Chain A
C-alpha cells in the first residue's frame, strides 16, 4: 500500500537520505520517516542517473547494445554482457564453442568474486568498520589485473560477444588465476576473523531486516537476498546455461532471512565460486574462442528471453525483434530493482543504523536499479 509522502504524525521527522549520502553507494534517494531513531517508512526515489539504456539499445545493433549493459550493474559487467549475448545467440541459434563457454563461466565467476569482495568491504564500512574495505580492495585488485590482461579493461569489460568472447585468453591467465586463488583462500579466513565472527558485527546483523520466504517471493527478491530467505533462485542451478549444468557446486540457502543470513550466503558463495574456478581452470578445452558469425546480425521476428545469475540475482534480457538489425524493444530485468523494493518492508521498526546495514546486505548498485 502506498501512503502519501509527507504525511507525518506528531513527533515524526522526514529525512532525505541521499541522493548524496555516504552509504547509499550512489545516487539513491531515500525519503525516510523516523520517530526518534526508529524508522516508520522508507521511500526510495529513483531517476537521478536514469540514462534510458533500454531506449538507447533500440537504436544500437545486436553487437553494439551488449556494451551498454556493462554500464548497468558495473560490478557484474561480464555477467550482464553474458546474458545479452545468450539472448542474441538464442535468437540467432548460434552454437558457442566449448572453449568460449568455459572462458565465459570463468569470467563470470571471477566477476562474482570481485563483486562480492567489493560488497564485503562496502558493507563493513556501512556498519562502521573502515579497515575491511581496504583489505577487500587489495584482493579485488588482483582480479582486476587478471581481467585487464585478458579483456583490456578493469571494470566495464565488454568481453562477451554473440558467439563467444572477443579475444582469446592471455597465455598467463591460468597461472595468474591459480596464484590469485591461493592468495585469496588464505584471506577468506582473515575475513572471517575480522568481520564474520566479530561480536559487534554479529549483534548488528542478527535478527535485523527480516524478510520471510513468502515476502521474498512476492517482492521478487533474487540472488543472495532471496536465497537468504530460503528461496531457491540460483539461475545457475534452475536454468543452467553454458557449462554450469555439469559443474559440481552448491546453491547456498539460508532460512533466517536476516542481514546475517544474507551476509553468510555471500561469503559461502565466494567459496563456491572458488570451487567452480578450481574445476575449470585446468580443463579449458582447446578450440575456437568465438563461433563464426555474420558481420551484421539480424534476429528473426519474435520474442526472446534469457536469464543469468549476476552477483546480485536474476538478470533477465527480453528482446522483441521485428527482424531488423536493431531490436524493436529491449527490457532488462535487473535484480537490484526488485531487491530495493523490499527495503521498506525490511527496515520498518528498525533504527537508522539498521537501515544502513540492511542496504549494505542488499548490495545495491544504483545504475542497475536506475537504468
Chain B
C-alpha cells in the first residue's frame, strides 16, 4: 500500500539524486512552505464553511447555499470581498504596531503547524521537543492580540486585548499541565514518539480516569486559549462589539479571522495527537483481526477524522453555551481547573511510575 510517507521519501530521494545537496534542501523548503501556506488557506476556507453550516443546522436554518454547489464557494467569495476592501488605519493608531499585529498572530499560528503529524511519517519537522515547542509558540499569539488592542486607539479594543491577555495567560497553565500529564506517560516530547506510544491503545483509554480528566481540561483550556465561545470574552460581540479587532477591516481583519480558525485546527490536532492517538488507527489490545482491519484505513484519514470531530465539538460549544463573565472565567481557571489538573498530574505520575497503563 502506498502511504504518504513513501511519496515524501521518494520526492526527497529524487531531489537529492538530481540536485546538489543545498539546492535540494532549498527546493524542499520552498515546497513545504507553499504546502503549509496552501493548507493554511484551505483550512481557513473549509473551517469557516463548516462553522457556518454547523451553526446553521443548530439554528434551524440552512446556512450558505447559493454560491457554488451547496454554498461551498461562499467563504471564497467572502475572502475575495475582504481582499478588495480597504484596510483602514484609524486616526491616532500606532500605525506600525497596528499593521504588524495581524502578522504576529498569523505567523504564530503558522509556526505551530511544523511539528504536527498529519499522517504516518508525514510531518514538516519532527523536532525532539515538539510538544514543548507547540506550547511555547502558541502563547506568542497573545502578543499580537495585545498589540492589536493597544495600537487601535479604541477603548473597546483595549478592553478586549486586556481580557484576552488575562485569559490566555491563565489558561495556558491548565493546557500545559494537561500536556505534561501525557508527556509523563510517553516519556518523550517528540510528537512521533507520542503517537507511536499509542500503538496498542489511545491514551484516553489507556490512561484511565486521569487521562480523561486531563483531556476534558485540555479541551476547555484550549477553547479558552483560542478565544472561542463560551470563552470569547476578547471579542464578546454583545459587550465589546468586536473586541481587539474592532478597528480592523479588509485583509487585516481576514488574517485575524483566519488565524482563529487555524488555531482551532491546531489545538484540535494537538488534542487528537495527545489523547486520541494522532494518525494511529483504533487498536484494541490483542484483537489482532480487528486491529488489522483498522490498519487498512489510511492514517491521514484517522488524523483528519479525529481532528474534525474535536473541531465539531468545539463548534458545538460555541453555538450552545452563553458566554462567561470575566471574573467567572478567571475563577474557573484558578479555582477549579488549575488545582484539579495539578492533582490529576500527581495521579498521572503515580500511574506512570507504577506502570498501571497496560
Segment from A123-131, A300-308, A319-327 that makes contact with B: A123-131
Given A198-B322, A200-B321, check contact A131 B59 (CB 8 Å).
Answer: yes
Check A15 for interface membership: any CB of B closer than 8 A. yes
In this complex, how many residues of chain B approach chain A with their Cβ under 8 Å: the count is: 29
Kindly report which residue of chain B lies nearest to residue A195, judged by CB atoms. Answer: B322
Check B186 for interface membership: any CB of A closer than 8 A. no
* Chain B residues closer than 8 Å to A126, beta-carbon distance: 238
Q: How far is the CA of A223 from the CA of B324 in the complex (A)?
A: 28
Given A127-B238, A130-B55, check contact A200 B230 (CB 8 Å).
Answer: yes
Kindly report which residue of chain A lies nearest to residue B235, judged by CB atoms. Answer: A128
Check A194 for interface membership: any CB of B closer than 8 A. yes
Instruction: Find out whether the CB atom of A356 lies under 8 angstroms from the CB atom of B322.
Output: no
Kindly report which residue of chain A lies nearest to residue B232, judged by CB atoms. Answer: A128
Question: 8 Å CB contacts to A: which residues of B319-349?
Answer: 319-328
Query: C-beta contact mask, B44-75 vs A, less than 8 Å → 1, else 0?
Result: 00000000000100111100000000000000
Instruction: Find out whether the CB atom of B239 lies under 8 angstroms from the CB atom of A356.
Output: yes
Instruction: Find out whether the CB atom of B59 lies under 8 angstroms from the CB atom of A135.
Output: yes
Instruction: Find out whether the CB atom of A22 lies under 8 angstroms from the CB atom of B238.
Output: yes
Q: How far is the CA of A351 from the CA of B159 in the complex (A)?
A: 12
Question: 8 Å CB contacts to A: which residues of B210-263?
Answer: 229-230, 232-233, 236-241
Instruction: Find out whether the CB atom of B325 lies under 8 angstroms from the CB atom of A204.
Output: yes
Which of A127, A129, A138, A353 gathers most chain B CB within 10 Å?
A353
* Chain B residues closer than 8 Å to A21, beta-carbon distance: 241
Q: How far is the CA of A15 from the CA of B240 in the complex (A)?
A: 11
* Chain B residues closer than 8 Å to A204, beta-carbon distance: 322-325, 328
Check A145 for interface membership: any CB of B closer than 8 A. no
* Chain B residues closer than 8 Å to A131, beta-carbon distance: 55, 58-59, 319-320
Check B155 for interface membership: any CB of A closer than 8 A. yes
* Chain B residues closer than 8 Å to A23, beta-carbon distance: 238-239
Instruction: Find out whether the CB atom of A354 lies under 8 angstroms from the CB atom of B325.
Output: yes
Shortest A25–chain B CB gap in Å is: 10
Given A351-B327, A352-B239, A353-B239, check contact A127 B156 (CB 8 Å).
Answer: no
Kindly report which residue of chain B lies nearest to residue A357, judged by CB atoms. Answer: B325
* Chain B residues closer than 8 Å to A15, beta-carbon distance: 155-156
* Chain B residues closer than 8 Å to A129, beta-carbon distance: 320-323
Taking a contact as CB atoms closer than 8 A, the residue among A22, A124, A138, A351 that contacts B322 in the complex is: A124
Check A37 for interface membership: any CB of B closer than 8 A. yes
* Chain A residues closer than 8 Å to B239, beta-carbon distance: 23, 352-353, 355-356
Query: C-beta contact mask, A106-119 vs B, less than 8 Å → 1, else 0?
Result: 00000000000000
Kindly report which residue of chain A lies nearest to residue B323, judged by CB atoms. Answer: A128
Shortest B312–chain A CB gap in Å is: 15
Query: C-beta contact mask, B159-171 vs A, less than 8 Å → 1, else 0?
Result: 1000100000000
Check A134 for interface membership: any CB of B closer than 8 A. yes
Q: How far is the CA of A351 from the CA of B239 in the complex (A)?
A: 10
Taking a contact as CB atoms closer than 8 A, the residue among A134, A200, A201 that contacts B61 in the complex is: A134
Question: 8 Å CB contacts to B: which residues of A118-169?
Answer: 124-131, 133-135, 138
Query: C-beta contact mask, A192-212 vs B, less than 8 Å → 1, else 0?
Result: 001100101101100000000
Shortest B231–chain A CB gap in Å is: 10
Check A13 for interface membership: any CB of B closer than 8 A. yes
Q: How far is the CA of A134 from the CA of B322 in the complex (A)?
A: 14
Q: How far is the CA of A15 from the CA of B159 in the complex (A)?
A: 11
Q: How far is the CA of A85 from the CA of B321 in the complex (A)?
A: 43
Instruction: Find out whether the CB atom of B232 lies under 8 angstroms from the CB atom of A37.
Output: no
Q: How far is the CA of A195 from the CA of B319 in the complex (A)?
A: 12
Instruction: Find out whether the CB atom of B238 lies under 8 angstroms from the CB atom of A134.
Output: no
Shortest A15–chain B CB gap in Å is: 5
Shortest B55–chain A CB gap in Å is: 7
Q: How far is the CA of A143 from the CA of B236 in the complex (A)?
A: 31
* Chain B residues closer than 8 Å to A133, beta-carbon distance: 59
Q: How far is the CA of A23 from the CA of B239 in the complex (A)?
A: 7
* Chain A residues closer than 8 Å to B322, beta-carbon distance: 124, 127-129, 195, 198, 200-201, 204
Kindly report which residue of chain B lies nearest to residue A202, judged by CB atoms. Answer: B322
Instruction: Find out whether the CB atom of B59 lies under 8 angstroms from the CB atom of A130.
Output: yes
Q: How far is the CA of A352 from the CA of B324 in the complex (A)?
A: 12
Additional A-B contacts beyond A131-B59, A134-B59 (17; CB < 8 A):
A13-B155, A23-B239, A37-B159, A127-B238, A128-B237, A128-B321, A128-B322, A129-B322, A131-B58, A133-B59, A134-B60, A135-B59, A194-B320, A200-B323, A203-B325, A204-B328, A354-B325
Which positions in B face A, CB cutoff 8 Å? 55, 58-61, 155-156, 159, 163, 229-230, 232-233, 236-241, 319-328
- Leading 5 A-B pairs by shortest Cβ distance: A128-B323, A134-B59, A23-B238, A129-B322, A127-B322
